[in-house]
Structure formats: structure tokens, C-alpha cells
Structure 1
Amino acid sequence: MGDGYTARLAPRWRWLLVVASLAVSVPVLWFEPAVLGVAGARVVAAVLVVVQALALWLVDVRPWAGTAVVLAAGAGFQVLFPAFGPGIAFVVLCTYAWLRPASDSLRMLGLAVVAVCGPAAAQQRWLAAGLWLGACLLAWSWGAQARARGARRAAERRQAALEERARIARELHDVLSHTVSVMVVQAAAAGDVFDVNPAKAREALRRTEETGRQALAELRWFLRTVRESDGDESGPQPSLDDLERLAESVRGAGLAVEVVREGEGAVPMAVQLGAYRIVQEALTNALRHARGSRATVHVRIDDGALVVHVQDDGRGGASPWANKGSGQGLAGMRERARLLGGVFTAGPHPGGGFRVEARLPIGEATGGTA
């Protein structure tokens, strides 16, 4: 079973392996052979040099076959020239452990131990065999550790990409859900009174146009901040000062909203944006699903935290809007609060309606009332 990580050798590293193989193996032609006679041993050694170089070139695309051939060539060199040693076998074993998962490279480690230590053991060179065994284990562990680090970095990049996708989806939902919902409600109201009260219908259509322009402005800002890679989010970021404008747009759709703010103190922009989005989502869902007539937004600074409280008088107890819609509502608000280090609660209110509350830390306690 793989680990989901794919490692590839760059062409320059393949060339480097081939050159290193030739640099290490060619001098063997001047060693004193143990078998086959001088001429025959050197012919076989020359063939092994070429085969080993070709196998190293293919080790990236055919890692098992390439590594096995290199190890076999190294064993052949040790049989013909005992003073030569394993040659480049340790390098290719380390490379294989980096290229392939541990479950696969462990089998190659066993083959390497046989190919590298076998000739020395057969020639009763026990010290050399022990040294080669230790070198095999060390080479494999280096390669496996490098692969583990690479796999961990790849997993972190994938996780970061998933989190960024979730953030973009949440922001896009927050940008469009409220304004589009208000537009739908206003357009429906205009249709209901179009024949009996044209003036009221025109007013509803005018509000629909204003809401649409607001949606376009927020969408342009969102797309601009997504495209920018330097983290500059200059533009009309919603803040606590925009809550009244948000409430006014909801009032125009038929839900009476009262905004109450208490407390004084500096609130980081990230917390202001998070609080605004939580209120926006709560009012949107109250408008779309709760079928209430009133909602209260209470925002206060209390003991080093910004407390956001939204309550409507709709059907929160019987059919909470949390179970409807796209599924982004409660989950999105809870995630926003979590990312800001806060806590989030939501549920039917004993006196009727649905209640949402978030407590978002802002640093040191700041007292006072507005």
C-alpha cells in the first residue's frame, strides 16, 4: 500500500548518478581480478560498468528493475575484484528508499543486504560484511526519512489547499447568500403587490436593484482578494460599522431588525469581519427559513471578548433553520468562531424563536458601555 506521495528524480540528478557510477566503477578495470584471468575479468567488468550506468539512468522510471540491476552489478564487481567493495550500491539503495514507499523499499533492503554482504561473507571477509550491513541499513534509513519528510510536506500542502478551498467556499457563501436571499424576497413582494399597489412594487424593485449592486460590489472585492497573493485585502471589508446597513437591507425584505451595540474598545478587523459574517448568516437564515417578523442583534464588548447575540421570533423551536438550506449556515458560523479562538452556540430559545451567540476574544479586557 502506498503513502500517497510521489517522488521523482530531476534529470540533472539522473545525470549525476550516472557520472558518479562511471567515476566509481571505471577504476575497477585497473584492479587485480580474483577470477577469470586479467583479460576476461576486465571485459566482464567493462560490460558491468555500462549496464550499471544504463540501469541508473532508468532508476527513476523503472525503480525496482534499475536498482536490482545496479545491486547485481555491484555484487559482480565484488566477486571479480574483492578490493572494490559495493561501489554505488548504497547511493542507489538510498535513492530507492526515497522513491518508493517503505513497504516496498524494505524488500529492496533485503535484496541489497544479500547483494552487498553476500560476496564478502562468501569470501569470509566478516568485518567487511558487517560494515556493508551497517552501511545498507544507514543508506535505507536516510532515504526513508527523506521520503517521510517529503510526504509530510505534501500532506501539509494538501491540507492547506483544502482549508483554502473551504475558506473560499465559506466566504463566497457569505457574500452571496444574504444579498441573493434578500433579492428573492423583495422580488416576490413586488410581484404580490404589482397590480394593487404599483408604487410599493416599484419601491421593492428599487430595493432589489440596490441589493444586487451591493452583491456585485462584495463579489468584486471577494474575487480581488482571492486573486491577490500578497495577502493585501484592501477594499470594502465589512465591519461592525456596517451592521446597520446590513439590518436596513433585511428590513427592506420584511424582517424588522434592531441593532444594539454596547461597550467601547479596539476590535481587530478579523474579529469584526467574523462577527459581521455571523450576524449576516443568522439574519439571512431567519429571513429565509424562520418566517419571523422581528430579530434582535446585540453586539457588546465584554471582558476582553466581542459577544454577538442574534435572536429572531420565528419558528426556531419547531423547525430550526439550522437543518435547512445548503448546510453552510451553522457549520460556517461555528468554524468562523473556532478560527478566531472563540465559542459558538445556537439553538431554539425557550421563549420562542432561534438564538445564535458567539463569543470572540479580542485581547485584553475593555470595559465601559456606549
Structure 2
Amino acid sequence: MFRRLRTYQLVVDSSIALAFFVIAWPIETVLAAGAFGVEYALGSAGHVVFGGLIAALFSFALAVRRLSPPIALGLAWAGALVQMGLGRPPSFSDVAIFGVLYATAAYGSRIVYWAGFASALVGALVITVYLFAGPSFAGGGLTWQTLPLALVLLVAAAFALGLSWTIGALVRSAVRTRETRVAQQRAEAETVAEQERVRIARDMHDVVAHSLAVVIAQADGARYAAAADPAVATEALATISTTARSALADVRLLLGQLRHRQGDGPQPTIADLEEVYAQVRAAGVPLRVDVDPVPPGEPPAAVQLAVYRILQEALTNALRHGAPGGAVEVRLAWLPDRVELSVRNPAAATTAAPAPRPGHGLIGMRERAQLAGGRLDAGAEGAAFVVRATIPIGGPA
């Protein structure tokens, strides 16, 4: 029923309505005297009241046209009915009807929108019938001789009232189009931001989880082996230092992209896999890597990054959740149109129970495979846990 308006809009509408009333009241008072065939006199209370009533109704309708289009439409109809009930001709006050019809189309609800359209058509018909079949100033009433003129008046009134409503409808469409465009741009910006957050989180998980798994494995191994061979502790500390420095560099790169929105920096490739293999072996895990066939040339950077991150996360899971001392098998097959990889590790005894809820690692690996246009499956196969992925080379992502 009421729309939310700003203070300056209320002030503007009220000022326009007040100025309209100041102009319309004297004009309505003069028309009242002329319509009743009585000599105009300023002291005639009846003429002043009649003119003030009609001017007030239309002025108030003009004041609330944006605040409450349905109330404004009702007041405009009330003013028109009072005007016709007093047998008065159209006057300056009727100009407010155009503003009200505009407001119903531009700001009204769906019901008010169509009520304004119906009011324009019905109003044109009522005006025509009133002028030709109403009071004595109609000019002889509606006859076959005046019928063409009545039809012309009907068309002209419908055009004038309908034009006001149509302009409001066009404004309404323009406003809704702008709001839709703004909402779409906001949604697109939120989607891009969400994708960026997911990418940063995925990269952060891959880097931190793998590095911490290696550091923990080295620290645990060195703690038990240092008593028998102090050199083992020194070697483990060197591995921990190297792994931590590498992880710190990767984290700084990711944080720099997040803070400054810079482009992607140097990304790991399949050539960096040897470092990952070395870290896993240094953690005391027997690792066998089989690459057959080898890459035919230089694979696309996106494929190399996906393979690197998937293997990194799969080996991290083998370190954290695999059976202690169990051998890990990595197989890579670089075919002409795709690369197939698998990571198999013995499952720990606790994994014989029902599988836990998938964590971020499996989700991240699956997302990386899908972003590269491939697929990934992970699950238990007998006493082993296997990760298999297929990524197209040059295929659509």
C-alpha cells in the first residue's frame, strides 16, 4: 500500500501538490460560479467550498502518487465523481489525473498497474458520455449528429490518458531492466570471487597438507631413530627445513595473489614431481613410480598442474592414512589424447571400518580433475586405497 521514499522525494511531492492546490482552488471556485449560472462573488461560501473540495482531492492524489499509487488512484476517481456529481465541466484540477496514471504504471503493484490501465480506458468513456449526455453545457446531448464528434473525443481522451499510463509503463520497464542488470553483475562478481576463494583454498590445502605431512613423518621418525643414530635426526631436520621453506614460498605466492589480485605466478609442473617423490621417500615410505609411456612432448600447463596437485594430494593421503611401512605405487600413462594416473597404497587397519566422510583432499582432487576436463575416482579396493584419474590432453575443459 505504501512505498518507501526518501525524505527529499516526500518534500518534492508535497511541494508540487501544494503549489497545484494554490493554483487549482481559485480556478475551481470561478468554474463553480459559472457552472451554476450564478454571478461570481468571493464571499460565496458554497463556491469556495466546492472548488476547494475538488482541488484538495486532486492535489492530495498528486501528493501521494509515488508514496501510495492505489490511494492516489482512488482519490483521483473520488475527485472526478464529485466533479461530475456537481455538474461541473473539466478543469485545471483534472491535470492531476495524468500524473496519477503515470504513477500507477511506474510504481504500482501488478494489480494497481492494470487498474491504472483500466482506469484510462474507462475514464475516457466516462468523460465522453458525461460531456455529451450529462449537464446542460453538453451542447444538446448525444445524437446522431454529435456521434462522430463524440467518437473523436473518446479516441482523444483514451489517447491522452493512455499516453500517461504508457510513459509510466516504459519507465517501469527501464527501472526493472536496470535492476536486473545490476543484480546480474553482482551475482557474476560474487561467483568470480567464490571461484577465486575456492581456488586459493584448494591450492593452500594442497601445499600445506602435503608439507605438514612430510614434516610430521620426518619428526616422528627422527624422534625414535635419534637414540640409535644421531645422524638420522640431522638428516630429518634438513628434510624438514627444505620442505618448510618450499611450503613457505608457495604460501607467500598464494597470499600475494589473494592480497593484490595479481596474475598467477609460476606453477609447478611434472618436472617438480621428483621433489615430491623425494620428500615421500625421505619420510620413510617405500615409493615405486612407473611412467609408461612417457609424455609425448610438452603437455599443456593446465594438465601438468592438475597431475602435479592430484599426485601431491594422493601421496599426502598415503602418508597420513596409509598403513605404516606400506609401499606406495604410482602409475602414469601419457597417452596421445589423455593422461591416466593411479596411486595405490595399503590401507591402514582402521580403514577397514566404514569409510569416513570425504574430506577436503578428495574434494580438491576431484575438482582439479574436473576443471581440466577429466574425472577422478577414489576408494578402497580390497586391502588397498586407490586413486585413479583420467585427464584429457587438449580436450575441452
TM-score normalised according to structure 1 size:
0.70
1:149-164 matched pairs, under 5 angstroms: 149-164=181-196
In 2, distance between residues paired with 1:343 and 1:336?
A: 9
1:264-283 matched pairs, under 5 angstroms: 264-283=296-315
Aligned residue type for 1:309: S
Q: Is 1:256 matched up with 2:260?
A: no
1:282/1:310 contact within 8 Å kept: yes
Which residue of structure 1 aligns with residue 98 of structure 2? 86
Runs of 5+ consecutive residues of structure 2 not aligned to the other structure: 32-47, 84-91, 129-153
**Closer, same or farther: CA 246–32 of 1 in aligned 2, 3 Å:** same
In 2, distance between residues paired with 1:132 and 1:305?
A: 65
1:320/1:348 contact within 8 Å kept: no
**Closer, same or farther: CA 181–116 of 1 in aligned 2, 3 Å:** farther
Which residue of structure 2 aligns with residue 361 of structure 1? 392
**Range moving further from structure 2, 254-263 or 137-146:** 137-146
**Closer, same or farther: CA 167–121 of 1 in aligned 2, 3 Å:** farther
Aligned residue type for 1:163: Q
Which residue of structure 2 aligns with residue 123 of structure 1? 127
Q: Is 1:300 matched up with 2:312?
A: no
How far apart are 1:134 and its partner, in Å? 5.7
Identity of aligned residues (%): 31
1:77/1:86 contact within 8 Å kept: no
1:327-366 matched pairs, under 5 angstroms: 327-350=359-382, 352-363=383-394
Alignment counterpart, residue 188 of structure 1, candidates 220, 228, 237: 220
In 2, distance between residues paired with 1:322 and 1:273?
A: 29
Which residue of structure 1 aligns with residue 268 of structure 2? 238
1:59-208 matched pairs, under 5 angstroms: 65=67, 81-82=93-94, 85-87=97-99, 90=102, 93-94=105-106, 96=107, 105-109=109-113, 112=116, 120=124, 122-123=126-127, 127-128=158-159, 139-208=171-240
Aligned residue type for 2:99: G
How far apart are 1:158 and its partner, in Å? 2.7
| Higher RCO (C-alpha under 8 Å, 6+ residues apart) | 1
How far apart are 1:191 and its partner, in Å? 1.7
Aligned residue type for 1:300: A
1:345/1:358 contact within 8 Å kept: yes
Structure number with larger C-alpha Rg: 2
**SS at 2:99 equivalent:** coil
In 2, distance between residues paired with 1:359 and 1:107?
A: 57
1:263/1:302 contact within 8 Å kept: yes
- Report the aligned-residue RMSD: 4.4
Aligned residue type for 1:238: P
Which residue of structure 1 aligns with residue 256 of structure 2? 224
TM-score normalised according to structure 2 size:
0.66
How far apart are 1:315 and its partner, in Å? 3.6
**Closer, same or farther: CA 122–162 of 1 in aligned 2, 3 Å:** farther
In 1, distance between residues paired with 2:186 and 2:5?
A: 16
